[in-house]
Chains A and B, each alone.
Chain A
């Protein structure tokens, strides 16, 4: 198991806010838990869908989470919607960015003890390595005690890079 590579910017921000020590440990521990989803090794995919590094935006709007791959190439940046099922190539370095366009939305992976939030103008960011193949549930956790709907629930699927590329292509085709 590898320690998570929390993004540098995030670390600086956390330091500035003088996190309480134990709480900070919890935060890091949560991210470690998430990283432990992964095993080792990763493949490299096709030219337009890299599999060694993946950027995913998980966006909250109208009390729902929906996810998008951010694909960067010489032609520019494009987003590919993947709904609430986020496939990831095994072995990839993953940037997971939380954002919200309206309400405050909590993002949680209870089994991984991971919990963060997004609000308009206040996003969140995780970095981890997708190592162990399998499915991992995420959900919008309860802010203000509200029982959230299925629209805030989804899952990550860590799979072989080739299958991941197929998935992205399917999603791209479906969204055209």
Chain B
């Protein structure tokens, strides 16, 4: 396209005005975030030269490169949006050509070259990422400047109509299937709409040029990256290269990739943190995040997703198949938004064949919802008697401790880490020394064991059972550690020793002390029971977060156990000091004996939350995904993927399989009005606050204007299952103060995947068959899985058991040891792919 005279004039004007504005303000290059905002000169009082027409909501779409791209990714940039679709024969080609011309002009000046162009497809079902990539190429788009976004029909339309306040809808004839705006939209660095211009009218484009200059003349928001190298940490390229270089040495199948398809999934959930972890940073247990739990709530055969939020509504997403989801929170009755929640556990409490839901919360009581079988939930908390003590509840575990066929419930309570104070829009403020809580017996909270009485009623049997657990615990796993037929309970402690409670039968438990596990991680966070080495015995993997907090975790130290010299002082541990200084992998040697083999198995990592274990490459050996990392003010770290090399060790593979690195490592964390309400905030005062920013020897310089502090992205919880029904396993995460990730595997597209999906239905045992041990024999390889529903950190899910069969064409035999102790053998051959339902006989 050729530029017409008026447009050229307009762009010349904008460049001149921008240059003039820069000269007047003496700002250098305002488009690029200031590397040292502390040293910047005081800005003039915030005076907006353009009106704010709208503030865009959080959104997450997918760009033409197949990467998630949302508001958080565009924050810090001025951008110009348009709305097109590739099969549009009407105005779209013209709009796109105008956008292309605009891009060329903007790229001529350093002052404007960083302005981002964003074309949003209003025909997302047709305009997939590859289609948009082709369209981008045809139009000569430079991916560094111009992105093309797609999503789901509802996510795009919601964004256009409710965010941009522009029209979009179905067309009236086949030649124009979609009608849409032909406007350019100017969006500022804070995601606010500042102008709307007719892209096809010369006046509109001229007006855009003028407004761009005015926007540049406004005081510019400052971006403060904490730590300063957050976006491009020096260690990451080397780490990535080193792992990729080692790929050929990995014996486990690793030629498959995950792609984060959250942007086209229809999942618009965005986790929101307490301000205690955000704006007024302090170290507190709120930062442990919240759960993602999975179950087929409506009986359509597809697992649905429940995301727990910290502030604001949790969300239930119905699985529509093929990786698409629909928000059904409101209609399901699970619109929990009046309290701060943490964990979520699906289980069939009344043996009626559908998953019910228990949600743990902080201070305001826990919640139990009964499912009507169609995905409609009724709050039965009061009637069931499981509200709890209004403490600081965390993970909850359903298991049948007394063998009566009804699922009982163990709820962990962390300890009192909040005060009575509340800030507006946020939960109870944390105590300043929350992580010293274990030093104060008066702050401990007893975890609760409930017996299921039937009829949707539970009884607190904590006292009578003897299971009086008062450690600072946020998670537990239930399994029969000694093979005596009774389900025991391993309760993690995040500030002390984990404890194993042995089920004595008759509704009684006893503390085993340090007999079985003399050394445990001091800061245990998540756990998974699985047979990692294929010997038929159930092993126990425990992640250790808090030990990594005793000292600064330097790049390169993630795979090492913590240095004893820099471990917390003995007085702080308040234990015998005999700890595994990092993740622990307790290999079951039989007879109730375990040996710790984490280093030999290579399962150490940095800042781990909870593990999910599943056969990601379907080779018959369970792999690990560990949701890991911290946010403000810590450095980026990322999640871990560990592929099981035939039960001998695990190989690190997060970069190899595409889980890391994220397309953008940082997310906006704190918004501050340093000339207004937040003038006394540490970051506005130029104080280092809780973090070191810049050179400590330099005097602190107050910051002015709008400051956005950016922080590392990090996950907390995860679940692994076949999201899109293609036969391989995918991963979904719940990320702290961020959008989730939906990692879709292409294993099934690259290889013929042999796997067996097994669903259990108990009759004498609990209907979910929780506690059953399933053995699958395929050729010479035998696998064992515990059906405990433990899908990841803080959560319990109702999911089929997935057995990868490797090269085996079929499975020969399936053996189920039900919670009743009875063994049931089902003989094959079982062809891969077909779901196998086994009902207890």
Contact = CB atoms under 8 A, between A and B. Distances in A.
B424 interface: no
14 contacts: A26-B565, A63-B689, A100-B433, A102-B432, A104-B436, A115-B565, A117-B568, A120-B433, A145-B549, A145-B630, A146-B633, A146-B634, A146-B690, A147-B633
A165 to B, nearest CB: 31
Contacts of B633: 146-147
A117 B549 CA distance: 14
Interface in B527-552: 548-552
A7 B549 CA distance: 29
Contact of B566 (A17, A104, A115, A124): A115
A113 B692 CA distance: 24
A144 B688 CA distance: 17
Contact of B692 (A18, A143, A144, A149): A149
Contacts of B572: 104, 117
B571 A116 contact: yes
Interface in B38-88: none
A146 B283 contact: yes
A145 B569 contact: no
Contacts of A17: 570-571, 574
A121 to B, nearest CB: 7
Interface in A1-58: 14, 17-20, 22-24, 26-27
B789 interface: no
A145 B435 contact: no
Given A26-B564, A147-B227, A148-B692, A115 B569 contact: yes
A144 B283 contact: yes
A147 to B, nearest CB: 4
Interface string A70-113: 00000000000000000000000000000010111010000001
Interface in B689-715: 689-692, 696-697
B752 interface: no
A122 interface: yes
Given A144-B435, A146-B283, A117 B551 contact: no
B577 A23 contact: yes
B440 interface: yes
B570 A19 contact: yes
Contacts of A148: 692
Nearest to A148: B692
Nearest to B574: A17
A156 B366 CA distance: 51
A149 B239 CA distance: 28
A113 B696 CA distance: 25
Given A143-B283, A146-B283, A18 B576 contact: yes
A141 interface: yes
Nearest to B281: A146
A39 to B, nearest CB: 26
Given A19-B570, A23-B577, A143 B435 contact: yes
Interface string B140-171: 00000000000000000000000000000000
Nearest to B432: A102
Given A19-B576, A121-B439, 11 more contacts: A17-B571, A26-B564, A26-B570, A104-B433, A120-B432, A121-B440, A122-B440, A143-B283, A143-B435, A143-B549, A143-B550
Contacts of B697: 150
Q: Which of B432, B439, B570 has the most CB of A within 10 A?
A: B570
A144 B575 CA distance: 19
Contacts of A122: 436, 439-440, 571
A67 B413 CA distance: 38
B569 A117 contact: yes
A133 interface: no
A13 to B, nearest CB: 8
Interface in B281-339: 282-283
A153 to B, nearest CB: 9
3 pairs of A and B residues whose beta carbons are closest in the complex: A20-B577, A23-B577, A119-B436
A172 interface: no
Contacts, number: 105
A59 B633 CA distance: 24
A123 B62 CA distance: 53
Contacts of A106: 568-569
B749 interface: no
B691 A147 contact: yes
A3 B573 CA distance: 25
B813 interface: no
Given A103-B282, A116-B571, A142 B436 contact: no
B670 interface: no
B748 interface: no
Contacts of A115: 565-566, 569
B681 to A, nearest CB: 14
Contacts of A103: 282-283, 432-433
B131 interface: no
Contacts of A147: 227, 552, 633, 691-692
B531 to A, nearest CB: 32
Given A103-B282, A119-B433, A145-B553, A150 B696 contact: yes
B578 interface: yes
Contacts of B551: 141-142, 145
A149 B696 contact: yes
Nearest to A105: B433
Point out which of A102, A141, A143, A150 has the most chain B C-beta atoms below 10 A from its C-beta: A143
A145 B568 CA distance: 11
Nearest to A102: B432
Contacts of B634: 145-146
Interface in B541-600: 548-553, 564-566, 568-578
B570 A23 contact: yes
Nearest to A27: B570
A156 B439 CA distance: 29
Contacts of B283: 103-104, 143-144, 146
